């Protein structure tokens, strides 16, 4: 038995997210699994590092599956990229330890949310950036972001109100960078709750346009109330940038 690890990127625009679903074949996991099963001639249980939502992109999604095949990693890489749709690509195929699991062994994830801060649309990047026409105060957003960093209970920034598992996460860094009309928010942490990054982004954008004060972030965290946080930013601006493991693999 072998354990094969994949590094994947995709444009999530036309897909219903990562996870396979019974009512649609338009999922990233579904497309990959179908191609792998056709190649290997056996069932494939493809485990991803996380479930990106419909419309969310990935530059560094990871996944793994176990197989009895002796087909080389190089042959797997060549085959899947030949038959996958043009908006999904496997960047790397490698042999992993048998015990390796893409989701359970991930120690850090980084997401990037891209914003186009201009009243004029960006024609060529419109599928990958959320347009905000009002002028954003990046410094105020950075003040607010600093209050969100660290280990906190992020229940107030989770879209699943009935979640029973722990909602405590460590948000190592929120880096906000602006170059011309483009602003990027880079979130790095040990894990993220359902829609957490998009709710954090929507809340920080409210700070940026002056609807909230930076110090309100502390109050939202303490409230544990989703209704106190801002709106959820649209999916199109979000990208899973990379997933890291304790052996240094990305």
Tell me what pLDDT residue 22 has.
Answer: 81
Task: Read off the pLDDT of residues 138-156 as tens digits, 9 standing for 90 and up.
Answer: 999 999 999 999 999 999 9
Q: What Cα–Cα distance (Å) separates residue 68 from each residue in 2, 4, 32, 42, 142?
A: 6, 10, 18, 9, 50
Task: Read off the pLDDT of residues 209-239 as tens digits, 9 standing for 90 and up.
Answer: 999 999 999 999 999 999 999 999 999 999 9
Tell me what pLDDT residue 101 has.
Answer: 96
Task: Read off the pLDDT of residues 11-57 as tens digits, 9 standing for 90 and up.
Answer: 999 999 999 988 888 999 999 999 999 999 999 999 999 999 999 99
Question: pLDDT tier at 197 (50, 70, 90 boundaries)?
Answer: very high
Catalytic residue flag (residue 53)? yes
**2-96 CATH pick, 3.20.20.60, 3.30.70.580, 3.30.470.30, 3.40.50.2300:** 3.30.70.580
Question: pLDDT tier at 164 (50, 70, 90 boundaries)?
Answer: confident
Tell me what pLDDT residue 59 has.
Answer: 98
Tell me what pLDDT residue 249 has.
Answer: 61
pTM: 0.95
Separation between Cα atoms, residue 76 and residue 52, nearest integer Å:
24
The full set of domain ranges for the chain reads 2-96, 107-245
Among the listed residues 53, 153, 225, 249, the single catalytic one is 53
Give the pLDDT mean for 108-135. Answer: 97
CATH architecture of 107-245: 2-Layer Sandwich (3.30)
What rounded mean pLDDT belongs to the chain? 96
């Amino acid at each position: 038995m072998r354990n094969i690890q994949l590094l994947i990127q995709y444009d999530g625009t036309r897909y219903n997210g990562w996870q396979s679903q019974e009512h649609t074949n338009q999922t990233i996991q579904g497309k990959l699994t179908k191609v792998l099963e056709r190649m290997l001639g056996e069932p494939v249980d493809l485990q991803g590092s996380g479930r990106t939502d419909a419309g969310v992109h990935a530059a560094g999604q990871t996944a793994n599956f176990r197989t009895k095949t002796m087909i080389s990693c190089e042959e797997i890489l060549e085959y899947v990229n030949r038959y996958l749709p043009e908006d999904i690509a496997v960047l790397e195929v490698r042999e992993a330890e048998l015990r390796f699991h893409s989701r359970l062994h991930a120690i850090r994830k980084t997401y990037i949310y891209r914003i186009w801060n201009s009243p004029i649309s960006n024609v060529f990047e419109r599928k990958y950036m959320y347009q905000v026409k009002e002028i954003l105060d990046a410094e105020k957003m950075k003040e607010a972001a600093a209050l969100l960093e660290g280990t906190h209970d992020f229940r107030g920034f989770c879209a699943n109100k009935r979640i029973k598992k722990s909602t405590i996460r460590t948000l190592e860094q929120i880096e906000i960078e602006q170059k011309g009309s483009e602003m990027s928010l880079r979130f790095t942490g040990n894990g993220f709750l359902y829609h957490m990054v998009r709710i954090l982004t929507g809340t920080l954008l409210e700070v940026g346009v002056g609807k909230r004060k930076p110090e309100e972030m502390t109050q939202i965290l303490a409230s544990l109330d989703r209704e106190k946080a801002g709106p959820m930013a649209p999916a199109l601006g979000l990208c899973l940038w990379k997933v890291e493991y304790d052996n240094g693999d990305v």
